């Protein structure tokens, strides 16, 4: 990784720092992390659906979280993050296809979401999600088998569930921060949307130190806890610094990710790696949908036909509509 130990002198650029995941490490404390900054990519995913703001905001958090967690995958790998709960937002799913393609959608009870929005009180993602589970399915690609981790969602946030996942499945001390908001735009043309969705996130993870001499009067359990971050002064110090990040800093288009990292960890020193570009990209196509339809019997296809005899299929991820006539499936 290239080393940058001082705040970059180049001016902040409003758009060029968007839609990236930037890996970094602290020099003094050897803690690793990633920062995500999503602009047009998250807005494109959310704009494809006419979701209430509460649902869009929670799906935006899931998009930022999935981009952060999927970043280490090699090209061809995939991460799927999904929830299934009893809350007003009963289901959401986000796909990350390495390197950098994201898509997602949500299913919700419109009347219950509207009731929450009318309540007049602050609504957290935990209020929408309710009780259920969060599943993370990792497919590294190639000949490596995929695996899945499942954690409970007990009225908490996506961040709470992700922390629980790393505690239970990875046993890796982790700190995650997510932010989503609408950015108002100035000087928009008449009829144009006056705002865009933005999302951002930060993940920090303790890197266990191999070896290490036992401390006097230290038990094996105490040494294991120290090496894995539970009693590691460096980890505790950097995690405390990271926890001071403000939500607006994670999505501010005028604050570059590098400057934010230096703002948080200037006393530690920061090295950043090569950024990964993030783009909203769906895997659907007319050929894929046609192949899917050809798996049905003529009788089943007849039940799908509309009054004019055609079949219309809408992609749940990107809302693209595919229309097929009789001759298309002959």
225 plus 132 within the same structural domain:
yes
197 plus 89 within the same structural domain:
yes
Q: Is residue 13 part of a domain?
A: no
Q: Is residue 1 part of a domain?
A: no
Q: For residue 61, is pLDDT > 80?
A: yes
241 plus 150 within the same structural domain:
yes
136 plus 49 within the same structural domain:
yes
Q: Is residue 100 part of a domain?
A: yes
3-state secondary structure the chain: CCECCCCCCCCCCCCCCCCEEEEEEECCCCCEEEEEEECHHHHHHHHCCCCCHHHHHHHHHHHHHHHHHHCCCCCCCEEEEEEEECCCCCEEEEEEECCCEEEEEEECCHHHHHHHHHCCCCCCHHHHHCEEEEEEEEECCCCCCCEEEEEEEECCCHHHHHHHHHHHHHCCCEEEEEEEEEEECCCCCCCCCCEEEEEEEEEEECCCCCCCCCCCCCCHHHHHHHHCCCCCHHHHHHHHHHCCCCHHHHHCCCCCHHHHHHHHHCCCCEEECCCEECEECCCCCHHHHHHHHCCCCHHHHHHHCCCCCCEEEECCCCCCEEEECHHHHC
pLDDT value for 195: 87
pLDDT tens for 87-96 read 999 999 999 9
Q: Is residue 12 part of a domain?
A: no
198 plus 299 within the same structural domain:
no
Q: What is the mean pLDDT of residues 291-297?
A: 93
pLDDT value for 221: 56
Q: Of 280, 302, 319, which residue sits at a domain end?
A: 280
CB of 110 within 8 A of CB of 117? Answer: no
CA 197 to CA 187: how far, in whole Å? 17
pLDDT tens for 234-280 read 889 999 999 999 999 999 999 999 999 999 999 999 999 999 999 99
Q: Is residue 3 part of a domain?
A: no
118 plus 196 within the same structural domain:
yes
Supply the range of the domain harboring residue 150. Answer: 20-211+220-280
84 plus 231 within the same structural domain:
yes
Q: For residue 115, is pLDDT > 90?
A: yes
Q: Of 249, 265, 280, which residue sits at a domain end?
A: 280
Q: Of 280, 295, 312, which residue sits at a domain end?
A: 280
155 plus 74 within the same structural domain:
yes
Q: What is the mean pLDDT of residues 273-301?
A: 94
Q: For residue 285, is pLDDT > 70?
A: yes
Give the chain's domain count.
Answer: 2
CA 135 to CA 267: how far, in whole Å? 37
310 plus 176 within the same structural domain:
no
Q: Is residue 261 part of a domain?
A: yes
Q: Is residue 117 part of a domain?
A: yes
Q: For residue 288, is pLDDT > 50?
A: yes
167 plus 198 within the same structural domain:
yes
199 plus 306 within the same structural domain:
no
124 pLDDT band (50/70/90 cuts)? Answer: confident
pLDDT value for 318: 95
**Under 8 Å CB-to-CB from 27, ≥6 apart: which residues?**
3, 5, 268, 269, 270, 271
Q: Give the CATH number, domain containing residue 187.
A: 3.55.30.10
pLDDT value for 56: 96
Q: For residue 231, is pLDDT > 80?
A: no
pTM of the model as a whole: 0.87
Q: Is residue 14 part of a domain?
A: no
Paired strand residues for 97:
78, 101
Q: Which residue has the higher pLDDT, 222 or 277?
A: 277
63 plus 187 within the same structural domain:
yes
Q: Give the CATH number, domain containing residue 318.
A: 3.90.1280.10
């Amino acid at each position: 990784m290239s080393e940058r130990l001082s705040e970059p002198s180049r001016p902040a650029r409003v758009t060029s720092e968007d839609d990236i995941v930037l890996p970094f490490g602290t020099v003094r404390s050897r803690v690793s992390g990633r920062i995500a900054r999503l602009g047009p990519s998250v807005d494109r995913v959310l704009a494809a659906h006419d979701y209430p703001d509460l649902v869009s905001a929670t799906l935006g958090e899931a998009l930022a979280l999935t981009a952060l967690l999927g970043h280490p995958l090699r090209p061809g790998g995939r991460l799927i993050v999904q929830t299934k709960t009893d809350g007003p937002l009963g289901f959401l799913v986000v796909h990350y296809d390495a390197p950098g393609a994201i898509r997602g959608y949500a299913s919700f009870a419109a009347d219950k979401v509207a009731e929450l929005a009318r309540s007049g009180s602050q609504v957290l993602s935990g209020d929408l999600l309710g009780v259920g589970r969060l599943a993370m399915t990792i497919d590294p690609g190639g000949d490596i088998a995929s695996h899945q981790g499942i954690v409970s969602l007990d009225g908490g946030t996506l961040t709470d569930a992700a922390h629980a996942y790393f505690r239970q499945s990875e046993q890796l001390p982790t700190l995650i921060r997510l932010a989503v908001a609408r950015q108002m735009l100035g000087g928009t043309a008449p009829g144009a949307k006056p705002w865009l969705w933005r999302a951002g996130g930060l993940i920090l993870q303790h890197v266990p130190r191999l070896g290490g001499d036992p401390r006097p009067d230290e038990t094996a359990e105490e040494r294991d806890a120290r090496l894995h971050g539970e009693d590691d002064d460096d980890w505790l110090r950097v995690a405390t610094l990271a926890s001071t990040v403000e939500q607006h800093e994670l999505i501010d288009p005028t604050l570059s990710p590098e400057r934010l990292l230096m703002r948080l960890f200037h006393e530690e020193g920061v090295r950043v790696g090569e950024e990964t570009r993030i783009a909203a990209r769906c895997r659907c196509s007319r050929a894929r949908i046609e192949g899917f339809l050809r798996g049905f019997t003529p009788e089943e296809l007849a039940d799908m036909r509309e009054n004019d005899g055609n079949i219309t299929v809408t992609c749940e991820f990107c809302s693209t509509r595919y229309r097929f006539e009789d001759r298309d499936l002959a």
